[in-house]
Structure 1
Amino acid sequence: MTASFTSRTTAGKSRIAAVGAIAVAGALLLTACGDQTEGDKKDPAASTKSAPLADQLPKAIADKGVIKVGSDIAYPPVEFKDDAGKTVGIDPDIADALGKQLGVKFEFENGTFDTLLTGLRSKRYDIAMSAMTDTKARQDGVDSETGKKVGEGVDFVDYFTAGVSIYTKKGDDKGIAAWSDLCGKKMVVQRGTVSHDLAKAESTKCTDGGKKAIAIEPFDNDQQAQTRLRAGGADAGSSDFPVAAYAVKTSGGGNDFQLVGEQIEAAPYGIAVAKGNDDLSKALKAALDAIIANGEYDKIIAKWGVDAGAVKEATINAGT
């Protein structure tokens, strides 16, 4: 969900964060886009009539009229279920706009974040779109921690930029103002995310420097991690900046959490496409560039209050 805003990326080279403050409100839950689940299918033939980029899609996908999207739908405000059970958020809204350009329906299927690329490689999904940070390790199919090859890599069509933040219980920061203050503390994260990777890397720095390790407790999704911290079971949590900021803004009416320190590791979010599907990657890039040019992209970004993470053009494999 280094994805983003768990950053959902792989820990690596330090970057200066470039994403600004987020301004979101609970009312957005009611104004987000329609359901993206299987139960809400449209007639593909009808949708292609006014789709200017439909001819750029691979024939197999164009014939189906559907792009299956693997996503961890528990990562507000990027993708989540609203009170009516509909899949809403930044990614579903962008996917809906892309679908209008390409003449297909994007169907979001829920899965745990650390299994999405496996599902993509096994062709369960056509793409993965889940606040996933584009990294060189993911492009190459390499485990970021061991450096070993774990499977075929993926290509990314990049559409947003986000960093990683730390948050604590409100009014109780435990003296944490930076990652270096986490030695000897207990931290909750989403498994397989950049936050998880950063926590492990920072813990190694702690022990190498003669300090206590960070006690890291990973969860399947970010909401579980937040629940643990809210209940007093940890000292701090970490996730992509937009997600952390959204939790600070909305959880307990804004009374549960606070952001601490500066966000780090600013990097692009990408739509993951299996290697060898160049035509699909190019079609998605063309559709993204089209909605950026016609202003629909900016409207979506502004709607969710994440303007500072907007991009001016789509790119492929820009992550490092």
Structure 2
Amino acid sequence: MESISTQQNHSYKEVETMASFSRRLAAPAFLAAAALLVGCSSGTAGEADSAPAAGNTDAPAYDLLPQEFKDSGVIRIAMASTAPPYSSAAGGEWSGLIPELGMAAEPMLGIDIEIVDTPYTGQIAALKAGKVDMVWGATYDNVDTEAVVDLASYMRSAASPMTLKSKNITLEEPEDMCGHIVGTIAGGGIQVYLENFAKDCEASGKPMDLRLYDTSSGATAQLQSGQIEVLLGIDLIQRYAAKTLNDGAVFEVHDVQVLPSIYGMAFTKGDTELQEAMMEAVRQIMKNGEYSKVFAAYDAEKYELTPDEVMINGVGAGKL
């Protein structure tokens, strides 16, 4: 697993934000050129540009930012580089639904966003250790997670099972996963769900063999090699993998969705000012249409929230 001290980071500038939507197909090459023009940083967690650009005090969410971020001109955000289509850093350039939401939100904040490449299983630890200022990823909003961090809702999600087409496995309901070798990502809500579900499988006389992995790509590789029979993962990630590998000839994503859920940006408990600033930035891109453009580009419209649904710890409060 990649250590936090050696993770990559990347600063987005406003010129990149505009290009990511108007020139989507050419984005990687254009962003590389833009990085040379605007001096994007690349280093380890905790580093910042030696002379941060002055903030845009007219940005809609700027006044809500804590003074320390107005002074530094940058927010360090943990994201995983191995979770397409949510986030990826293939070739050293960030892409995906979450980085593009960040690109759109950055002008609303008036300061830079610096992405710190952090494996999913280490994101909350990095936040608590002060390596990053917040986490923007596939963090499930549930009461257990809310006890550790504050979560600002920004999208919906669900989990779906994926199998090898060559295995001809039939999955029509969750119970059909019983009796199989099932894998998922360690440390998240799906693991908790499967651990509880495995008890029901055991009671039914069809025990489940549960395997855990650190990354989506690692789990997918285990499925492809036949080491596991079913991979229960985030629906968008599963469908992306099934669609892109060998033109859809390898994997099948079954229409058995479980764990309808809310994803939240994670913050240190009580970091109210930063939370309010980020939520306002997200509401602004919802209102100006950029939020929906990003979701449409990834066939994820059904997972959108409305501005009124962007809130802190909404699941625990029974509001989402």
One-letter code of the match for 1:188? G
More helix by share: 2
**Deviations along 1:218-268, whole A, 9 cap, x unmatched?**
111011010111111111101111111111111222111111242122111
Alignment pair present for 1:73 and 2:81: yes
**Deviations along 1:83-120, whole A, 9 cap, x unmatched?**
x3211111111112221111122211122212211111
List gaps (5 residues or longer) in structure 2: 1-22
Distance in 2 of aligned mates of 1:38 and 1:267: 34
- Report if aligned partners of 2:126, 2:132 keep a CA contact under 8 Å in 1: yes
Alignment pair present for 1:319 and 2:319: no
TM-score of the two chains, using structure 1 as the length reference: 0.81
Alignment pair present for 1:39 and 2:42: yes
Distance in 1 of aligned mates of 2:233 and 2:111: 32
Distance in 1 of aligned mates of 2:79 and 2:161: 23
- Report if aligned partners of 2:162, 2:254 keep a CA contact under 8 Å in 1: yes
One-letter code of the match for 1:66? V
- Report if aligned partners of 2:73, 2:111 keep a CA contact under 8 Å in 1: yes
Tell which deviates more after alignment, 242-251 or 34-43: 34-43
**In structure 1, what is the equivalent of residue 270 of structure 2?**
276
Distance in 2 of aligned mates of 1:104 and 1:138: 28
> 5 Å matches for 1:1-320?
31=27, 34=31, 38-39=41-42, 44-48=52-56, 51-82=59-90, 84-140=91-147, 153-209=148-204, 211-313=205-307, 314-320=310-316
Residue 29 of structure 1 and its aligned partner are, at CA, apart by 7.1
- Report if aligned partners of 2:163, 2:253 keep a CA contact under 8 Å in 1: yes
- Report if aligned partners of 2:158, 2:260 keep a CA contact under 8 Å in 1: yes
Three-state SS of the structure 1 residue aligned to 2:60 is coil
Given the superposition, is the C-alpha separation of residues 31 and 256 from structure 1 closer, same or farther in structure 2, using an over 3 Å criterion? farther
RMSD: 2.3
Three-state SS of the structure 2 residue aligned to 1:63 is helix
**Deviations along 1:169-202, whole A, 9 cap, x unmatched?**
1242423333211222111211112222222111
- Report if aligned partners of 2:139, 2:264 keep a CA contact under 8 Å in 1: yes
Distance in 2 of aligned mates of 1:255 and 1:189: 22
Residue 122 of structure 1 and its aligned partner are, at CA, apart by 1.5
Residue 305 of structure 1 and its aligned partner are, at CA, apart by 1.8
Given the superposition, is the C-alpha separation of residues 52 and 176 from structure 1 closer, same or farther in structure 2, using an over 3 Å criterion? closer
Distance in 2 of aligned mates of 1:252 and 1:196: 28
Distance in 2 of aligned mates of 1:131 and 1:173: 30
Distance in 1 of aligned mates of 2:31 and 2:151: 25
- Report if aligned partners of 2:87, 2:98 keep a CA contact under 8 Å in 1: yes
**In structure 2, what is the equivalent of residue 23 of structure 1?**
none
Tell which deviates more after alignment, 275-284 or 180-189: 180-189
- Report if aligned partners of 1:80, 1:88 keep a CA contact under 8 Å in 2: yes
Distance in 2 of aligned mates of 1:154 and 1:60: 20
Distance in 2 of aligned mates of 1:49 and 1:102: 9
Three-state SS of the structure 2 residue aligned to 1:212 is coil
- Report if aligned partners of 1:28, 1:304 keep a CA contact under 8 Å in 2: no
- Report if aligned partners of 1:34, 1:88 keep a CA contact under 8 Å in 2: no
Given the superposition, is the C-alpha separation of residues 28 and 258 from structure 1 closer, same or farther in structure 2, using an over 3 Å criterion? farther
Given the superposition, is the C-alpha separation of residues 131 and 38 from structure 1 closer, same or farther in structure 2, using an over 3 Å criterion? farther
Given the superposition, is the C-alpha separation of residues 135 and 65 from structure 1 closer, same or farther in structure 2, using an over 3 Å criterion? same
- Report if aligned partners of 2:55, 2:70 keep a CA contact under 8 Å in 1: no
